[in-house]
Amino acid sequence: FALPDGMKKLQEYVKHARAEDEESVWVLKENKHRGQGVTPVKLKDIMGKLMTKYVEIKRKKTKTSSPYGYILAQKFIGNQMLIENIPFTFRIWTVISGGLDSIRGYVFDGSIIPFGDKEFFPEHDRDTLEQANDLIVNLFLQNRTKAKDPWSMTELKQYLLKKTDGD
């Protein structure tokens, strides 16, 4: 849900969520980069978190791109692909050009795959929010000297080809 425009749809979604979905993990994303401002939250707590941030912004009279502080709310993908038990993220740079009749997108060859700074092992008896936090690659909070060097898209493709024995 893109915020603030999608707030009413998010409210409706939360209102009509089934009981078993209330414990699902979602992420709220601020308008920041490299994993900053990504907050995991359970669906049952999402509206409270948004309102708390809203009040905080109003009190501080902070200018933000969304009155809720977050620009996106999305369901967290828990079963993420890991490379050697380490979470990673994509830093893909694109260029969109052209006019209304000829829009084209280009992906920059220098896009990279940064890795987290520690291995991740799913544990069933651990809180799902803790596990979500461990999977989020926040480049500002991690020890970058402990992390693997970032891969290029070519290195990722080679790794995947080797793992899958195919295209």
Average pLDDT over residues 96-109: 84
Closest residue by Cα to residue 153 from 101, 112, 102 = 112
The torsion angles phi and psi of 29, rounded to 5 degrees, stand at -120, 130
Closest residue by Cα to residue 31 from 71, 60, 61, 89 = 71
Q: What is the pLDDT of residues 23-49, one digit of tens each?
A: 899 999 988 876 678 889 999 999 999
Contact between residue 27 and residue 39 where contact means Cβ atoms under 8 Å apart: yes
Q: Is 83 helix (H, G, I), strand (E, B) or coil?
A: strand
Does position 144 have pLDDT exceeding 90, yes or no? Answer: no
Contact between residue 151 and residue 113 where contact means Cβ atoms under 8 Å apart: yes
Q: What is the pLDDT of residues 84-93, one digit of tens each?
A: 999 998 888 8
- Between CA 123 and CA 135 the distance in angstroms is 13
pTM for this structure?
0.76
Does position 60 have pLDDT exceeding 80, yes or no? Answer: yes
- Between CA 8 and CA 66 the distance in angstroms is 14
Contact between residue 57 and residue 67 where contact means Cβ atoms under 8 Å apart: yes
